[in-house]
Structure 1
Amino acid sequence: MNDDRTSAEIATLQAEIAFQGDSVQRLNDALASQQQDILMLQRQVALLGEQLRALRENGSHRDGAAEVEKPPHY
Structure 2
Amino acid sequence: MVSDVSAQLIELQSQFAFQEDLLAALNERVVAQDRELQAMRSAIAQLSDQIRQQSMVSEGSTSAAELDRPPHY
Task: Show the counterpart of 2:53.
Answer: 54
Structure 1 runs (4+) greater than 6 angstroms displaced:
none
- CA shift, 1:62, in A, is 2.5
In structure 1, runs of 5+ residues without a counterpart are 64-74
- Matched residue, 1:44: 43
SS of the residue aligned with 1:62? coil
With structure 1 as the length reference, what TM-score do the two structures score? 0.81
Q: TM-score, normalised by structure 2?
A: 0.82
The residue type equivalent to 1:35 in the other structure is D
- Where structure 2 has 5 or more consecutive residues not aligned to the other structure, the ranges are 63-73
* Percent of matched pairs sharing the same residue: 24
Number of aligned residue pairs: give it. 62
Q: Distance in 2 between matches of 1:62 and 1:3?
A: 89
Q: Does 1:18 align with 2:17?
A: yes
Return the alpha-carbon distance in structure 1 between the equivalents of residues 31 and 6 of structure 2. 37
**RMSD, aligned CA:** 1.0
Over residues 9-58 of structure 1, what are the superposed CA-to-partner deviations in whole Å (9 max), with x where a residue is unaligned? 00000000000000000000000000000000000000000000000000
Letter in 1 for 2:52: R
